[in-house]
Structures are given as structure tokens and as C-alpha cells.
Amino acid sequence: MTTAPTTASSTSTTPGRLAGRRIVITGAAAGIGKAVAHLFAEHGAALTLLDRDENGLSGTAADVRASAHAVDITSEAEVSGAIRTAAATMGGIDGLVNCAGIMFRGRAGDVSADEWRHVLDVNLTGTYIVIRAALPWLEQQDGSSVVNMASGQGLLPNAPGYSAYAASKGGIITLTRALAAELAPRVRVNSVSPGMVDTAMADGYRDNVDSYALRRLGKPEEIARAVLFLTSTESSYVTGAALAADGGRTFH
């Protein structure tokens, strides 16, 4: 699915913090990715949205007047085609936010090698595939930025049954730091590590808020604001960061 290309516009007559920016967001059909799309549109960015959920993606794209492409981020061919189209539609790419990912729980002795591979393929390799596809455009612009969605489990795995998920998110944090060193000074690369956020992905995993200093789940909009900071020029001296937006779960 590809929606008709349009330009995202701010709801305010005042130029936003992302005015003139051309940004791709993955995982935009729901949850944190959807919240990021709405916030970025309000701040004046031109957007292209990616997700495998065609129906949810269409709804978000209509809300924020963005182009959208239904893709599987583990498919290099699908991602490369969507990124090329995004760059042509927006006149380039100078921002990327990787929100696409899956939650997974299972003790190491019960998780098959195929399940392990699937979690890492989506969360870690999928993130890498999207970044790699966007690099030719990101590297053309000074001040380009990438924000990757990690997790508090990647910073501090402290509950049983998350070995595959924690490994995938810890890999995102390390990949972020490696790319920050490799792509500097032209492209900044940072990550956000949310705690448990009140989205559909949290269903069945809402039993541990007592370990959070703030004693509640986060809101998608709260994580989106952290992503906005790391994407905007307000964080122009920040790269390689692993920003914990986790209600005090890790105190990282």
C-alpha cells in the first residue's frame, strides 16, 4: 500500500521545531510510532510513514497528511523501494525514527532458535536495514539525525523471560553507539529506552509497574517528546546517547 504523497503540515501558524525537515518514521501504525508521527507533523516536518499494518498505517497517514508505505522492515527489497520513493517525494531525507519492533517473552530454555532469530530479525536487523537504506540521503545533509527505539530491558534486563527481547534491544543501543561514531559529524544517532508504555504492545505485560519510581505506565506522547528532542536541533551536541524515558525503572 502506498498513499498519495502529501506534505505534513503543522496545526499552528508558528513554524515548528522540525520545520523544513524530511523524516521517515517506522512502526507508525500504532503506539509510540503513531504518537511520534502526530507530534512531528504538529512541528512542521514532512513525513513518510512505514509499517506492515496497512490499515493502521492508512489511518495515521490520513491524520497527519503524510505519505505511507506498507513494508516488512526485514525485507531489504521492500525497505529500499520505500526509502527511494520517500526521498523522491520529500526531496531528500534528513531524519529517521525507527519505532518498528515486536515484544516477546519466553524463558531461554523454552525459546527456540527460530523464535530467537525472529525477534532479532525484526527488532535489531530490521532497524539496521532501514538505516542502511536511508544512509545515502542522510549523509547528504549536515544535521541529519537517526533515533532508534530501544528499551529499558536493553539497559537493565531485570526480569525472567526476556532474554531474546533484551538482547535485541541491547543490540540496538550498541548499534546506535557504533553508528554515532561511524557517521559523525554529519549524522547524529541516538536511542530512546522506554519503560512500559500504555500501548497495545503492553497488553499482557502490565504487571511490573511497582518497579518504576513513578509507579505508572508511560504514555506514547511522553516517549514521542523525547524523540522530538533528539531529532530537533535542541540536541545538536548529543550523539550516541541512550536516553532512558522509563519512569525511573533503571535510573540509567
Which residues are designated catalytic?
165
Distances (CA, A) of 127 to 60, 172, 224, 250: 21, 8, 18, 23
CA 76/CA 80 separation, integer angstroms: 6
What is the Cα–Cα distance from 100 to 26, expressed in whole angstroms?
A: 5
Cell triple for 108: 531461554
Angle formed at CA 4 by CA 10 and CA 16, multiple of 5 degrees: 15
Q: Is 200 left (phi over 0), alpha (psi -120 to 50) or beta?
A: alpha
Helix (H) or strand (E) run with residue 229 in it = helix 220-231
